[in-house]
Structure 1
Amino acid sequence: MMAVTAAWRNQFGWRMRARLKIIPSIWLRLDLFTPQWGYVLRSVLAAALALGIGFVCQVEMPYSAASTVLLVANASQGAVLAKGFWRVAGTLVGGIVAILLMGLFAQTPALFLLAFGLWLGLCTGGAMIFRHFRASGTAVAGYTIGLATYGSLEHPDTSLEHALGRIATVVLGVVCLAVVAALSSARVSPSRFHAGFARLIGAVGRVMTTKLSGEARRDMAPAVGLVPELFALDDLLELASAESAEVALRAGAVREGMAALLAGLVGATAWSSTGPLHPIIERAASRVRQAVDTASEALNSIDGVEQARASIAAARHDLQALVVEAESLEGAEKLDVPIQLDRMIELAEDYEAALVGLARLRSGRRGARRSYRFHRDWRAGLDNGLRSFLAIVLGGAFWIATAWPDGSLMLLVLAPYCALLAMAGNPAAGAVEFVKGTVVAVPASFICAFIVLPQIDGFPLLIVALAPFWIAGLYATTKPKFAAASLAYLVAFNTLVGAANPMTYNFAAWCNQVCGWLAGVIVTLLCFRIILPRNPGKEAGRIAGKIRDDVLAIARRDGRWDRHAWEHLQHHRLSRIALALKGDPARQRLMMEDGLAGIHAGRALLRIRNTLRQNHFPATALSLTLAVLADSKSWSLAPAEAANTLRAIAELLLSANSGDPSAQGPVHQVAVALADLSSLIGAHPGFFALAESA
């Protein structure tokens, strides 16, 4: 018996020691000093501060201030400041509109819901047009109507009180989070932007050298993958500008360098031909590769930007000498070689301009500022706005028809989710994540509200009880896979628990709230799958059609075009195509190649337009060139015939002006650009045959 007992004790002791050994490893993985845990703990502290001040000031629904903190919370101080500012601005605008609507339609719920739907649809559509946190601020202005009037629809006399209470809780949450973030977090976005800009300059340089060396000439994957990264860098510039006044002052000059870097990346994609290169092109490619390699090595040092610029400038000067040599060629080489030289010179100019942008960021020189445009998808804005309008109207009609006491909660959930998910890349998938997060929040809120909270008393213990649930959700937001679900969980949990002073524990009311919240997220999912569902392929085709239309606009309309500004808009469209077709790599690759070809066609047309403005351009050649440009509409009707016509016109220009030395230079440039345009249209007939503004 004693032997059996001893054996059991040994076995039990071994198991306990094994379990105790796990504790240090778990603790080591739970490093509370990592940036992720710093963000989580700051957010919990700010939420507790907002909730406490809400109790002291006796604001209506103090837990809403904590919810604002959890929604605005971000690891970046710049994101906290920018998101907070635009959230407050949107809430102020939405609160004012809510007061006006309640004053006009308090006695007619149907008209109020119609006006609410129209305002939400307008703001949802606007959110698709604006960029960065301005978009989220516009969405907030739309759905604040429901939040500001929640609880006052049955009692219109309290509408002003509810609206002001909503504004107060949002301002309280934003201010608490901003103060905590400012006191406990570092401003890291400027340094991250510096490092990211330098890294992407090096990455584009590697794409250039790979293309120019003849390796993987048809492999577009590296260039295609860098386009969205470069526009993500623009988002980081927005955060750095919010954190640093110096970066904000130089943002325009820096954005010029980023636009030039995108142009250089696109220029590198032109090297997709196979076979041996002409000796002149081989020398030019070798010279550019050498300069880019030297620049990349110089960028590794702190003060190497000027050295890198000097290397690229010297290479560009050498390429100009090769252009003079290429003018003496005969036959087909007289057109084909200068085309490649022109592209290579543009490549060097763009890479040098990117280095200038990096130098201005580091030196403090602001430089001139261009006006850059971004793609605004008005059709997507119309579709999303109409969907939000129909969702509110249909949801409101169901509420009125059924006389459901908690139907207003369904609208309170439906409005923000329709507006916010419209800005997501895959709204239907995001709605599924919101459903998952809400489903998890239901049992969590029950445990907290009916098992934990009745056992405690006092604000410190309240925070101790709420903190684990907040921490779990906040930590999940640091994982991209669970970010959307965790945000839905945090908002639903906070609202369903409804921490107030004094607390009331009404199980029936909680069940009604759960039904309203679940109905809201489920109806949101149905809206995105049934009402005007998003079609990524059609969206990408529409954007590609805009690129093609802008290319043809250069041919049809004379004017002074800024190449970098024009290309920047097309680059943004390329990034939108890449994001829209992320789930279809084969089609993404095809449409990106077509879009890049369109940009190169635009470059050729810009070279023609710039050359035609020269005073000594021959009148006969001018009229012939303008005639072929005016006929650009036929390029999309018969691309193959258009390619042959452009090539024939290029050869005719060269032969007709071969005896005039003063005209040979500009006419040769136009002929080369027409031949370049001919090859692009012939290689990508499907792109140029797109239905206009498809």
Structure 2
Amino acid sequence: MKREHAIEPTAAPRREQGVVSQTLSPAVRDWATSDGLIWLHLLKTVTAGLLALGIAMLLDLPQPRIAMTTVFVLMQPFSGMVLAKSFYRILGTAVGTVAALILGALFVQQPELYMFGMISWVSACIAAAVRYRHLRWYGFVLAGYTAALIGVPNVTVPHELFLAALTRAAEVAVGIVSSSAVSALIVPQRSSLALRRALQLRYANFTAFAAGVLDCGIERGQFERRFAGLVDEIVGFEATRIFAAFEDPAMRSRNQHLGRLNSEFMDACARLHALNQLLKRLRVNGSAPLVAAIEPYFHELATLMALQPDAVVDASRMAARLQHFQASLPRRVRETRRPLEAVPVESLAEFDTAAELLYRFVDEWIRYSETYASLARRKPESQSRNPSRYLSKTNGFAVAFTFVRSAVVMAIVGWFWIATDWPSGGLAVIGAALACALTSTAPNPSKMTLQMAAGAVLATMTGYLFTCYVYPNIDGFPLLCTMLAPVLALGAFIATRKHAAGYGIGFSVFFCLLAGPDNVVTYAPDLLINNGIALTASMLVAALVFAVVFPADMPWLIGRIMTDLRMQVVSACKDEPPGLNQRFQSRVHDLTFQLRMLLTRRSRRRRDALRWMLATLEVGHAVIDLRNEVARAGYVDALHPRWSSTVERTRDDLARLFERPDAGALERALVSVRSATWIAQDMLQAVHAERDKRHDLQRILSCLHFIRTALLDKDAPFNVR
């Protein structure tokens, strides 16, 4: 009995401990994958910043705070992002250093010409950054404002320019090495793992979304918002793929595989949109027998795609199920079609188009699933398919607009510096260059610049406290790190907040730049305040120019990008077929992403831009399908003497419609599509006894009919000028 009483009190706590452990484990795991990652990023950022500061002091570099500033500009959550940015930062810093030396040599003791040359160089680099974007953006931006950081403070002492360039390059290199080492060695967060998780989540979410669209349809506004989110995912995937290639050799070797995966995802998205549009038109305008005949196939496919829960998605099993469904689909569709042959030709064309689109969607989803499954199983990449390349290109007018806007901001600040001989005017020019560079691709540059100005004010106040009360009362590097760590962590934390990132960037960068400790600390609070005023004033000038003189969402600029978007249909109609689909898809998604970045507010213009994107995707994809089917069925040219010229005229009229949309162009396009449809129907009757040729003509008719229904859609934006 005593033994039982001795065991019982200890057994109960063990059971309770197991229950508590089971209860806390999910919560701990959830924290580790959410807020825990933020705290880890803060720890690594502060560690890298202090490490860079210590190494720079140990090497007796003149401005160790530049090394610390470099860390806060460079540090990112994933090691691949840091390594990639470090690579381009090294290139940009080297080019900017050379540019500073050349400008200093050409315009020695000629401040006006020197400022003109500096403004031209920095503005050109920022414009090139906007043109090439992604990681190359960082290299061009660094080439611009590094020249300002090196050259402007030494413009009055040109004999020290070469030495300043060398020491600045050394300080930047220390920051690069420190951030890269800490990111890669201390609990590294791999971009490749994040990419795999993103791919898994995207596959599961899009499967559920497609099942919802096919089963019961989705309200128009909800579909547009979800499709816009898919555009962001496609563009974001490309950036993450580049990051992953920098840190993981396996990802680098499978780069073409990942590119093809994204291309196939774009194809599946475009086909799902076409199906959604056709289902919407059938349910609104279609006859009851036709809808009753085709909808069971959509419901069956939706059931197949919704069988697995989102938490466990087996792409290979999904592909196998859909292959079985696809194999029986043609026979079943023919059996369903026979009783409908008595209905009007227009209704029968609706049925054929729906069946053809359904077959194409299943085929493209199978290809996407197989590619995704082979990536998950790490199988060797198939060489039977053409490699896909995502193409991104910024509108030339947007690039020129960025150049002029940056030049105007820097010219205003530079003119004021030269005219007043303000001692801190050089730092104001540097601040203007930083503002123009760091906000060049921001959705709302004026808002971000104002946030950076507020961060500069807070950095100046905090720097004043450190200069007057902290630095004089501490001794030794460990105590210095202890005092700096909370302040640096605060700035890094604010920078991780999506809607307040500008405050954190401004505070972290400008605190290091204004009040970061050097080997020989200068206790000059009046100079610090004057420099803080200069930085804040330059930010305010930049924000004013961005908001009033050169707002990013100017109607003419948006119109130019919209024209570029519509011109992709012109390319689909006239460009050479090899690789046309990949070029079309990537350019349409990239231009839509640019428009969404500029039109961030909920407005009619943003809705119009998204609807033009959907119309462009719908018609352009159908035209490419039509061209492929016509090329495959080369014998049709001999069946009718006017077939080739009619198809050519149809493509020309569709191109004119998207080039200059108006009611007249829409009417001409409809007439051309209708003429091509009549000729194709006549040829179909001529080859009705030959099964393969009949199927070829039916696919051509389906493409033409879908283009016509897209042009007649009451929600299409073709009549909007």
TM-score (norm 1): 0.89
Instruction: Tell me which residue corresponds to 2:345.
Output: 331
Q: 1:640: how far off?
A: 4.2
Alpha-carbon separation, structure 2, partners of 1:199 and 1:648: 43
Alpha-carbon separation, structure 2, partners of 1:178 and 1:250: 24
Instruction: Tell me which residue corresponds to 1:464.
Output: 482
Q: 1:153: how far off?
A: 0.7
For residues 207-234 of structure 1, give each alpha carbon's deviation from its aligned partner in whole angstroms, at most 9, with x where no partner exists.
2111111333534233333321332233
Instruction: Tell me which residue corresponds to 1:316.
Output: 326
Instruction: Tell me which residue corresponds to 1:286.
Output: 299
Give the letter for the 1:659 counterpart. A
Alpha-carbon separation, structure 2, partners of 1:400 and 1:500: 28
Give the letter for the 1:676 counterpart. F
Answer whether contact 2:457 2:532 (CA < 8 A) is retained. Answer: no
Answer whether contact 2:80 2:191 (CA < 8 A) is retained. Answer: yes
Decide which of 660, 678, 681 is 2:687's aligned counterpart. Answer: 660
Q: 1:323: how far off?
A: 5.8
Q: 1:561: how far off?
A: 4.5
Alpha-carbon separation, structure 2, partners of 1:373 and 1:210: 31
Q: 1:175: how far off?
A: 0.1
Alpha-carbon separation, structure 2, partners of 1:401 and 1:217: 60
Distance change >3 Å, CA 530–CA 33, structure 1 → 2 = closer
Distance change >3 Å, CA 547–CA 478, structure 1 → 2 = closer
Instruction: Tell me which residue corresponds to 1:616.
Output: 635
Distance change >3 Å, CA 410–CA 300, structure 1 → 2 = same
Alpha-carbon separation, structure 1, partners of 2:398 and 2:601: 19
Give the letter for the 1:258 counterpart. N
Instruction: Tell me which residue corresponds to 1:22.
Output: none
Q: 1:364: how far off?
A: 4.1
The size of the alignment, in residue pairs, is 661
Instruction: Tell me which residue corresponds to 2:239.
Output: 235
For residues 133-191 of structure 1, give each alpha carbon's deviation from its aligned partner in whole angstroms, at most 9, with x where no partner exists.
22122111111111112431110001111111111111100101111222212233222
Q: 1:547: how far off?
A: 2.6
Give the letter for the 2:675 counterpart. I
Alpha-carbon separation, structure 2, partners of 1:390 and 1:501: 37
Of stretches 575-584 and 465-474 in structure 1, the one that deviates more from structure 2 is: 575-584
Give the letter for the 1:331 counterpart. V
Q: 1:394: how far off?
A: 2.7
For residues 424-458 of structure 1, give each alpha carbon's deviation from its aligned partner in whole angstroms, at most 9, with x where no partner exists.
11101101111111111111011111111111222
For residues 518-561 of structure 1, give each alpha carbon's deviation from its aligned partner in whole angstroms, at most 9, with x where no partner exists.
22212221221234221166554433322321212332455335
Answer whether contact 1:646 1:678 (CA < 8 A) is retained. Answer: no
Distance change >3 Å, CA 382–CA 360, structure 1 → 2 = farther
Gap runs ≥5 in structure 1: 1-27
Q: 1:322: how far off?
A: 5.0
2:712 pairs with 1:682: yes
Alpha-carbon separation, structure 1, partners of 2:655 and 2:267: 26
Distance change >3 Å, CA 255–CA 222, structure 1 → 2 = same
Instruction: Tell me which residue corresponds to 2:507.
Output: 489
For residues 497-519 of structure 1, give each alpha carbon's deviation from its aligned partner in whole angstroms, at most 9, with x where no partner exists.
14112212123322321222222
For residues 108-153 of structure 1, give each alpha carbon's deviation from its aligned partner in whole angstroms, at most 9, with x where no partner exists.
2211111111111111111112232221221111111111124311
Q: 1:74: how far off?
A: 1.9
Of stretches 441-450 and 589-598 in structure 1, the one that deviates more from structure 2 is: 589-598
Q: 1:80: how far off?
A: 1.5
Distance change >3 Å, CA 266–CA 57, structure 1 → 2 = same
Answer whether contact 1:653 1:667 (CA < 8 A) is retained. Answer: no
Give the letter for the 1:121 counterpart. S
Distance change >3 Å, CA 432–CA 340, structure 1 → 2 = same
Answer whether contact 1:409 1:517 (CA < 8 A) is retained. Answer: yes
Q: CA RMSD in A?
A: 2.7
Distance change >3 Å, CA 672–CA 642, structure 1 → 2 = farther
Answer whether contact 1:543 1:573 (CA < 8 A) is retained. Answer: yes
Alpha-carbon separation, structure 1, partners of 2:373 and 2:315: 6
Answer whether contact 1:87 1:137 (CA < 8 A) is retained. Answer: yes
Question: What's the secondary structure of 2:159's corresponding residue?
Answer: helix
Q: 1:335: how far off?
A: 1.8
Alpha-carbon separation, structure 2, partners of 1:518 and 1:552: 47
Alpha-carbon separation, structure 2, partners of 1:122 and 1:322: 61
Give the letter for the 1:335 counterpart. A
Instruction: Tell me which residue corresponds to 1:62.
Output: 64
Instruction: Tell me which residue corresponds to 1:649.
Output: 675
Q: 1:352: how far off?
A: 2.0
Instruction: Tell me which residue corresponds to 1:6.
Output: none
Distance change >3 Å, CA 241–CA 536, structure 1 → 2 = farther
2:381 pairs with 1:366: yes
Q: 1:611: how far off?
A: 2.2
Instruction: Tell me which residue corresponds to 2:124.
Output: 122
Answer whether contact 1:223 1:266 (CA < 8 A) is retained. Answer: no
Give the letter for the 1:263 counterpart. D
Alpha-carbon separation, structure 2, partners of 1:231 and 1:64: 33
Instruction: Tell me which residue corresponds to 2:24.
Output: none
Give the letter for the 1:347 counterpart. F
Question: What's the secondary structure of 1:618's corresponding residue?
Answer: helix
For residues 92-113 of structure 1, give each alpha carbon's deviation from its aligned partner in whole angstroms, at most 9, with x where no partner exists.
1111111111111122221111
For residues 602-655 of structure 1, give each alpha carbon's deviation from its aligned partner in whole angstroms, at most 9, with x where no partner exists.
122112211222321134222322233233355334244135414531442244
Answer whether contact 2:52 2:175 (CA < 8 A) is retained. Answer: yes
2:669 pairs with 1:669: no
Distance change >3 Å, CA 299–CA 469, structure 1 → 2 = closer
Answer whether contact 2:571 2:584 (CA < 8 A) is retained. Answer: no
Identity of aligned residues (%): 23
Answer whether contact 1:551 1:602 (CA < 8 A) is retained. Answer: yes
Answer whether contact 1:536 1:581 (CA < 8 A) is retained. Answer: no
2:98 pairs with 1:96: yes
Of stretches 91-100 and 252-261 in structure 1, the one that deviates more from structure 2 is: 252-261
Give the letter for the 1:290 counterpart. T
Alpha-carbon separation, structure 1, partners of 2:168 and 2:121: 18
Distance change >3 Å, CA 371–CA 74, structure 1 → 2 = closer
2:306 pairs with 1:306: no
Distance change >3 Å, CA 488–CA 367, structure 1 → 2 = farther
Answer whether contact 2:681 2:701 (CA < 8 A) is retained. Answer: no
Q: 1:487: how far off?
A: 1.0
Question: What's the secondary structure of 1:154's corresponding residue?
Answer: coil
Distance change >3 Å, CA 685–CA 226, structure 1 → 2 = closer
2:356 pairs with 1:342: yes
Alpha-carbon separation, structure 1, partners of 2:443 and 2:219: 31
Decide which of 199, 202, 208 is 1:200's aligned counterpart. Answer: 202
Instruction: Tell me which residue corresponds to 1:173.
Output: 175
Of stretches 104-113 and 444-453 in structure 1, the one that deviates more from structure 2 is: 104-113
Of stretches 253-262 and 66-75 in structure 1, the one that deviates more from structure 2 is: 253-262
Give the letter for the 1:525 counterpart. A
Distance change >3 Å, CA 267–CA 587, structure 1 → 2 = farther
Give the letter for the 2:297 counterpart. A
Instruction: Tell me which residue corresponds to 1:407.
Output: 425
Give the letter for the 1:603 counterpart. H
Q: 1:668: how far off?
A: 3.3
For residues 454-476 of structure 1, give each alpha carbon's deviation from its aligned partner in whole angstroms, at most 9, with x where no partner exists.
11222222222222211211122
Instruction: Tell me which residue corresponds to 2:249.
Output: 245
Q: 1:91: how far off?
A: 0.7
Q: 1:689: how far off?
A: 5.4
The within-5 A match list for 1:34-113 is 34-113=36-115
Question: What's the secondary structure of 2:66's corresponding residue?
Answer: helix
Distance change >3 Å, CA 501–CA 579, structure 1 → 2 = closer
Question: What's the secondary structure of 1:423's corresponding residue?
Answer: coil
Q: 1:415: how far off?
A: 0.6
Give the letter for the 1:352 counterpart. I
